């Protein structure tokens, strides 16, 4: 007979004594269980003791997390968190250097536990640590030369404890003084050789900037880009990651009017070139966190274009009109007109003719073409950049098209405007960076004007594709679709430079795109004849059942999800999987991202499938209704889903990618008896149906299948040919 669900068998350790085997009744108060344990070892004052996990975490067991205790777990009887916090509070103020160092080391370890952290913070422990950072270390300035390792370790443990305590979100970041910020900022320079101090100092600065507008202003005054740059030129990728994270935080929180100024400083300090040389082209793999920070920097850099993208052209602004005149001058190099009475009219007529050759929609007043946002003035900026920096290519495109027949000319002006709009959509200009994306493109770090260069390559591609398609003005949208496909396919290969991107596009000619499309069409061929459609209807339920089983099997394997927090680098993971009988969801927290499947018995929490009331996605999720930059992010919204169950309970997910999102939402809907509606299901259904139909039609190759079934023959006049077995 299986043991009751509320009884957990554990071993409990106590220093100097043999471990005790014990059955814990989860219905009994925790204090009663601790008293029973203390009585067994004849320990008085049981309220001064607590239980904690005897593994590497050493986390305290409380009424809130006691359900995480598993059968066979090893626990340890130890001093209560309140008493432990009080002792450490006193020990870190010891006059003995060795005792103080040991106490700070213990504090750094214990601070990871939220139960201990709450007790230590209640003793005003954060203030004590900040005072030690601000002034306490001054006492040991004279000892640095003779006790440098000890001093470095002490400061490292102090900062580690501070970071861990603040990560619990119990104390507001707004409470810290300028003196503390100055001290942390000074460590970024003073302890460049001490990796642990530098790492924690950078982490504190990043959190300050991200969590408090007031602290952002103070940090921005204390730390300069020039002080951060040298840390990117080292060889430690973790320090480089933290450094870029601080730069990103400063960039993200800067007021709109300060961002361009900061971008100019980054350009002056050669940040892009330094990142390219010491990070992207360094002889080592780029880890996920570094890839994320590079992606964030890429997004923030492109978002500087948003202002121009959303600015309409003022047709009355002479400076803006002069740009259009400059485009015309470069293209046609018009000779000065003679000053006669008819010259003004002639000039207007000539300008109108030239603007038509330049491909503007409004020949009389091309400024009107730039009143739509997006792309606004950004399109005109791109055109001028192309005309000035790639003058030969610009003149060739304009003159080439002006000499073609009207119906086959590629309108440069209209093309540039639509292409700029398309590139902004591809690069998501103006959107906040995703908290989960690592999709940076190395080629954008190879040039100071990477977006403009990107445009220059793509406008030449558009002109080339237009010629290959022998397109007319009616085909404009078709050409744009092909060009977008060419760009997207080239970007997926992650070219390392703009030249490599250009080379990839050369191989993706219109002919090649047609071949790819034809191949894909053949693989997903959709037969439309009536017999085939009837066959599809007949076998579709089988295919859907196959997809359903695959989804449920994937849920049984489980997935590791990441808990999003304000400091992304300290990733916390949790795992969720379905039981093999499809009746229970098992889930629980993990120390680190797992390699392979996580066993059911190591996941502490359970949710019966029968208790699930609904599955909601996107903005309907409880964790997406909170305010904040992360919650408003489009990409995170697209990966969010929640399970709602009894008593207003909820289990919130953010999928690692779109594929896992589809797998889980499909699987959960299948468990609830609902239709699987994801894009992945539609694609799988199309692919599997196509394959199954092709297999069934193999024997009918080169045979015309009639649209209607053959007629049923008339009944014979007699049935004498029938043999009666009786």
Distance between CA 223 and CA 214 in Å, rounded? Answer: 15
- Write down the pLDDT at residue 495: 94
The residues near 555 (Cβ < 8 Å, ≥ 6 apart) are: 577, 578, 663, 664, 667, 668, 671
d(CA 150, CA 170): 30
Asked if the model's pLDDT at residue 375 lies above 50, the reply is yes
Q: Report pLDDT for 95.
A: 84
Least trusted range by pLDDT, from 78-87, 192-201, 299-308: 192-201
The stretch 635-648 carries a mean pLDDT of 83
Give the pLDDT score at 628.
47
Answer yes or no: is pLDDT of 1 > 60.
no
pLDDT score at 485: 95
Q: Can you read off the two tokens belonging to residue 475? A: 């085909």
For the record, the structure tokens of 477 come out as: 């949208």
Can you tell me the distance from the alpha carbon of 248 to that of 448, in angstroms, rounded to the nearest whole number?
A: 17
Cα separation, 88 vs 107, whole angstroms: 7
Kindly state the average pLDDT of the residues 636-661.
Answer: 86
- Give the list of residues 6+ apart from residue 34 with CB closer than 8 angstroms, or none: 46, 49, 50, 51, 77
Pair of tokens at residue 202: 């950078």
What is the C-alpha radius of gyration for the chain, rounded to an integer number of angstroms? Answer: 34
Supply φ then ψ for residue 200, to 5 degrees.
-70, -35
Q: What is the mean pLDDT of residues 686-700?
A: 83
Q: What percent of the chain has pLDDT over 70?
A: 90
* Antiparallel, parallel or unpaired: β 73-79 and 612-617: unpaired
Tally of CB atoms within 10 A around 564? 17
pTM for this entry: 0.76
Residue 16: band (very low, low, confident or very high) from pLDDT cuts 50, 70, 90:
confident
User: What is the arithmetic mean of pLDDT over 488-501?
Assistant: 94
Q: What is the pLDDT of residues 123-158, one digit of tens each?
A: 999 999 998 888 755 554 544 444 455 667 888 899
Helix (H, G, I), strand (E, B), or coil: what is residue 560? strand
Q: Which residues have a Cβ under 8 Å from the Cβ of 493 and sit 6 or more positions away? A: 504
- Measured between alpha carbons, how far is 155 from 105 in angstroms, rounded to an integer? 10
pLDDT at 635 over 60: yes
177 confidence band (pLDDT: 50, 70, 90): confident
* Residue whose entry in the numeric block shows the structure tokens 């202002």: 307
Other C-beta atoms closer than 10 Å to the C-beta of 453 total 21
Is residue 119 within 8 A of residue 81, CB to CB? The reply is: yes
pLDDT for the residue 55? 78
Q: Which range has the top average pLDDT, 144-153, 452-461, 689-698?
A: 452-461
- Between 55 and 236, where is the model more confident? 236
pLDDT tens-digit readout, 538-555: 999 999 999 999 999 999
pLDDT at 88 over 60: yes
Q: Which two tokens stand for residue 65?
A: 């997390």
């Amino acid at each position: 007979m299986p043991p009751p669900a509320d009884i957990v068998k554990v071993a409990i350790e106590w220093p100097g004594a043999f471990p005790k085997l014990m059955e814990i009744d989860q219905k009994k108060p925790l204090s009663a269980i601790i008293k029973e344990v203390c009585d067994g070892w004849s320990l008085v004052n049981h309220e001064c003791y607590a239980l904690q996990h005897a593994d590497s975490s050493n986390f305290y067991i409380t009424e809130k997390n006691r359900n995480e205790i598993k059968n066979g777990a090893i626990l340890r009887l130890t001093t209560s968190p309140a008493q432990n916090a009080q002792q450490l509070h006193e020990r870190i103020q010891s006059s003995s250097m060795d005792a103080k160092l040991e106490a700070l080391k213990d504090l750094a370890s214990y601070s990871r536990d939220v139960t201990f952290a709450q007790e230590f913070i209640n003793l005003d422990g954060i203030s004590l640590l900040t005072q030690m950072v601000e002034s306490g270390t001054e006492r040991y300035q004279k000892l640095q030369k003779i006790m440098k390792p000890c001093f470095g370790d002490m400061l490292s443990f102090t900062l580690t404890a501070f970071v861990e305590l603040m990560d619990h979100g119990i104390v507001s970041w707004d409470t810290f003084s300028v003196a503390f910020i100055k001290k942390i900022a000074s460590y970024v320079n003073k302890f460049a050789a001490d990796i642990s101090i530098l790492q924690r100092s950078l982490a504190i600065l990043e959190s300050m900037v991200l969590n408090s507008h007031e602290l952002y202003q103070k940090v921005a005054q204390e730390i300069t880009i020039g002080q951060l740059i040298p840390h990117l030129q080292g060889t430690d990728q973790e320090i480089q990651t933290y450094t870029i994270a601080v730069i990103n935080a400063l960039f993200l929180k800067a007021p709109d009017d300060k961002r361009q100024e900061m971008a100019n400083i980054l350009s002056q300090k050669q940040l892009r070139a330094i990142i390219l040389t010491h990070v992207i082209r360094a002889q080592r793999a780029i880890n996920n966190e570094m890839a994320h920070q590079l992606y964030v920097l890429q997004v923030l850099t492109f978002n500087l274009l948003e202002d121009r993208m959303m600015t309409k052209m003022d047709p009355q602004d002479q400076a803006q009109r002069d740009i259009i005149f400059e485009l015309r001058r470069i293209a046609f190099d018009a000779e000065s007109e003679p000053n006669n009475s008819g010259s003004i009219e002639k000039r207007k007529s000539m300008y109108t003719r030239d603007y038509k050759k330049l491909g503007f929609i409004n020949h009389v007043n091309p400024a009107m073409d730039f009143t739509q946002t997006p792309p606004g003035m950004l399109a005109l900026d791109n055109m001028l950049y192309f005309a000035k920096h790639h003058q030969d290519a610009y003149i060739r495109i304009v003159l080439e098209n002006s000499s073609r027949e009207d119906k086959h000319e590629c309108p440069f002006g209209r093309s540039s405007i639509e292409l700029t709009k398309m590139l902004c959509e591809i690069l998501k200009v103006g959107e906040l960076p995703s908290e989960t994306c690592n999709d940076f493109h190395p080629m954008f770090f190879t040039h100071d004007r990477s977006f403009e260069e990107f445009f220059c390559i793509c406008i030449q591609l558009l002109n080339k594709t237009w010629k290959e398609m022998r397109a007319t003005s009616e085909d404009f949208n078709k050409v744009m679709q092909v060009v977008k496909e060419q760009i997207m396919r080239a970007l997926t290969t992650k070219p390392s430079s703009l030249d490599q991107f250009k080379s990839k596009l050369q191989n993706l000619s219109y002919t090649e795109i047609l071949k790819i499309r034809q191949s894909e069409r053949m693989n997903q061929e959709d037969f439309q004849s009536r017999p085939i459609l009837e066959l599809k209807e007949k076998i579709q339920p089988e295919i859907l059942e196959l997809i359903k089983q695959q989804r449920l099997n994937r849920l049984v394997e489980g997935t590791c999800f990441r808990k999003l927090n304000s400091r992304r680098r300290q990733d916390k993971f949790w795992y969720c999987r379905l039981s093999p009988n499809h009746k229970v969801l098992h889930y629980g927290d993990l120390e680190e991202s797992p390699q392979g499947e996580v066993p059911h018995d190591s996941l502490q929490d359970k949710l019966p499938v029968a208790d699930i009331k609904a599955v909601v996605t996107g903005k309907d999720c409880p964790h997406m209704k909170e305010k904040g930059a992360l919650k408003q992010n489009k990409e995170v919204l697209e990966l969010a889903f929640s399970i709602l169950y009894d008593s207003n309970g909820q289990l919130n997910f953010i999928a690692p990618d779109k594929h896992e999102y589809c797998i889980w939402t499909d699987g959960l809907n299948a468990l609830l008896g609902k239709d699987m509606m994801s894009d992945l299901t539609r694609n799988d259904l199309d692919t599997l149906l196509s394959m199954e139909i092709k297999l069934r039609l193999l024997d009918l190759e080169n045979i015309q299948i009639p649209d209607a079934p053959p007629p049923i023959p008339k009944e014979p006049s007699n049935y004498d040919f029938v043999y009666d077995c009786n």
